[in-house]
Amino acid sequence: MIGAVTVSRFEIPAGKDREYEEMLRSFGDEVADDRGFVATSVWQDVDSPHRFLRVTAFKDFDSLFSSYDDMVASGFLEAAVEKWGIAPDVMRVEPVARHGVGVEQFRTHDVMSLSIRAMEPGYGDEWIEKMKYNFEEVSVLPGMEGWFIGRSDEVEDEIVGMVSWDTDEACRRTIPDSVHYEIRVFRRYR
For the stretch 89-139, pLDDT in tens is 899 999 999 998 888 888 788 999 999 998 888 889 999 999 999 999 988
Give me the residues paired with residue 173 across strands.
none
- The residues of the chain scoring below 50 in pLDDT are none
Q: Where are the domains of the chain?
A: 4-188
Distance CA 154, CA 152 (A): 5
| 51: three-class secondary structure by DSSP | strand
pTM above 0.85, yes or no: yes
Q: At residue 130, what are phi and psi to the nearest 5 degrees?
A: -65, -45
Q: What is the DSSP string of 156-188?
A: TTEEEEEEEES-HHHHHTTS-SS-SS--EEEEE
| 13: three-class secondary structure by DSSP | coil
Distance CA 48, CA 15 (A): 11
Q: Residue 109's pLDDT is what?
A: 82
What CATH code is assigned to 4-188?
A: 3.30.70.100
Q: How many CB atoms lie within 10 A of CB 85?
A: 11
